A and B are shown apart, each in its own frame.
Chain A
Amino acid sequence: QVQLVQSGAEVKKPGASVKVSCKASGYTFTSYGISWVRQAPGQGLEWMGWISAYNGNTNYAQKLQGRVTMTTDTSTSTAYMELRSLRSDDTAVYYCARDPPNWGYGMDVWGQGTTVTVSS
């Protein structure tokens, strides 16, 4: 079955970096993109960015430009999201989602979420 499996929970200190992985299975990885979406405690969904698994093209949310990097490894069908210079307000559950290159079809498969806690 089509699924995305994310790496485990992380606890980081302010100023550190975190790298979350998202391993895809059950579909042709390079035919889709991956969006990353985060959700702070008790808050709504925030789109962080998108990467094409076909050619590595990226589109990052303006507020995260310069702090976030998304990459893929097609040999293992895995997407990665690295966030640097962590602050307390980066504490959230981070989700990856399968997201076609053209808008309209929706993020149709989601990972289980990775909790990132930023605390001194």
Chain B
Amino acid sequence: QSVLTQPPSASGTPGQRVTISCSGSSSNIGSNTVNWYQQLPGTAPKLLIYSNNQRPSGVPDRFSGSKSGTSASLAISGLQSEDEADYYCAAWDDSLNAPVFGGGTKLTVL
């Protein structure tokens, strides 16, 4: 049981916009920033969004992040087949004094 809650799966067709949610509590998302990671099949995770809504160099602007209260969201616009991957949210948890991950969302491009 992960501290942060994500839907196990999401799907969309090419060109569509999809969002993935991440729900936490006052000790993690409610008081700290959220990072998002993309993990393509068989590869290491890759930082996609940091500090709620910042994109590292090289990440397309089709990817965007937002946070409100104790929840965060990752939005992917103009969905492409290569976006098919697992997506994880992460936040620092003040109670655990540790970062916590969501359980991951498997995105399927139909």
Query: Interface residues, chain A, CB within 8 Å of chain B?
Result: 35, 37, 44-47, 59, 61-62, 95, 97, 103-108, 110-113
B101 within 8 A of A: yes
* B interface secondary structure, majority: strand
Task: Decide: A45 and B101 in contact? CB cutoff 8 A.
Answer: yes
Specify the chain A residue showing the minimal Cβ separation from B56: A108
Specify the chain B residue showing the minimal Cβ separation from A108: B47
**Contact for A44 among B51, B56, B104, CB less than 8 A:** B104
Contact-size category for B = 20 to 34
Q: CA separation between A44 and B92, bound complex, in Å?
A: 17
Min Cβ gap B22→A in Å is 12
**Contact for A103 among B96, B99, B101, B102, CB less than 8 A:** B99
Contacts of A113 in B (CB 8 A): 44
